[in-house]
Amino acid sequence: MANEAAKVNIYIMGKKYSVPDSLTILNAMEYAGYQLKRGCGCRAGFCGACATVYRTAGDTELKVALACQTIVEPEMYLTQIPFFPAQKAEYDVAQLEPKAAQIAQYYPEIFRCLGCNSCTKVCPQDLNVMQYIAYAQRGEIDKAASESFDCVMCGLCVSRCPAHIVHYNVGILARRIYGKHIAPPSEHLRQRVEEIENGKFDAELEELMRADLAELKEMYNSREIEK
């Protein structure tokens, strides 16, 4: 008989479980019998839904990570929170101007940045988070928007920031200002919206609505992909 996979002991909300050492935190929780209805999404590190807090035996430091990317460790203590609480400003993007003062108005804490780079180090997308905050400070909205473009808003950066900067919300604001006030109008997008409104794609949309799951998968897998 083949040897059973090596196992490690982990603790989920204080209860001990023995799980295979090759599992991610997300898979380990399911292996332990938890049915995950929240806090899980793409399972591939691209949606940011599964941010988790943990520590290991003998280490007092609290660590954060995405549960779908992080392999369990011996004597790992896990806890789940629904999200990282963070301030989210309310504004009308149409009334904003592409200036540093506009971002500072809603997120003045960006000027408390200590330059510790903890936000960048913890980012699961390997974004240069501290850099796009620096761009926002200087009013370089286009650069802040570009540097933060792949942010999945998991909140890990916020959990590590001693200045309590809400980096991902700063990035959202920069991208909204860029899209509304800086980016040149997209003629091909305007044309496509006009085509949709005029019913050019109604037949194709109706075909998709009638298709079953197997047909949709086949259409998706055999689609023509632009290079």
Final residue of a structural domain among 80, 105, 130? 80
**DSSP 8-state symbol, 180:** I
CATH number for the domain spanning 155: value is 1.10.1060.10
- Whether 196 and 178 share a structural domain: no
pLDDT at 85: 67
Position 88 in a domain: no
- pTM of the predicted protein model: 0.74
Mean pLDDT for 211-227 is 87
Final residue of a structural domain among 28, 51, 80? 80
- Whether 107 and 161 share a structural domain: yes
- Percent residues over pLDDT 90 in the chain: 66
Count the neighbouring beta carbons within 10 Å of the beta carbon of residue 208. Answer: 12
Mean pLDDT for 218-222 is 89
Final residue of a structural domain among 53, 80, 107? 80
What pLDDT digit, counting tens, does each position of 36-72 carry?
877 787 887 778 888 888 999 888 888 998 999 899 9
Question: What gap in Å lies between CA 164 and CA 155, rounded to an integer?
Answer: 11
The per-residue pLDDT of the chain, averaged, comes to: 90
Position 138 in a domain: yes
Q: Which of 164, 150, 156 has its CA nearest to residue 108?
A: 164
Statement: residue 80 has pLDDT above 50: yes
- Whether 110 and 177 share a structural domain: yes
pLDDT at 60: 84
Measured CA distances, 188 to 33, 60, 66, 112, 217 (Å): 50, 55, 37, 41, 28
- Whether 76 and 99 share a structural domain: no
- Whether 178 and 200 share a structural domain: no
Domain count of the chain? 3
pLDDT at 2: 43
The boundaries of the domain holding residue 204 are 187-221
What pLDDT digit, counting tens, does each position of 101-133 carry?
999 999 999 999 999 999 999 998 999 999 999
- Whether 128 and 171 share a structural domain: yes
Mean pLDDT for 68-82 is 87
In the structure encoding, which two tokens stand for residue 131, read together?
């850099």
Which residues make Cβ contacts (< 8 Å) with residue 167, sequence separation at least 6? Answer: 119, 129, 132, 133, 148, 151, 157, 158, 161
Question: What gap in Å lies between CA 153 and CA 51, rounded to an integer?
Answer: 10
Statement: residue 151 has pLDDT above 50: yes
In the structure encoding, which two tokens stand for residue 80, read together?
């789940």
- Whether 127 and 113 share a structural domain: yes
What pLDDT digit, counting tens, does each position of 22-39 carry?
999 999 999 999 888 777
**DSSP 8-state symbol, 39:** S
- Whether 140 and 161 share a structural domain: yes
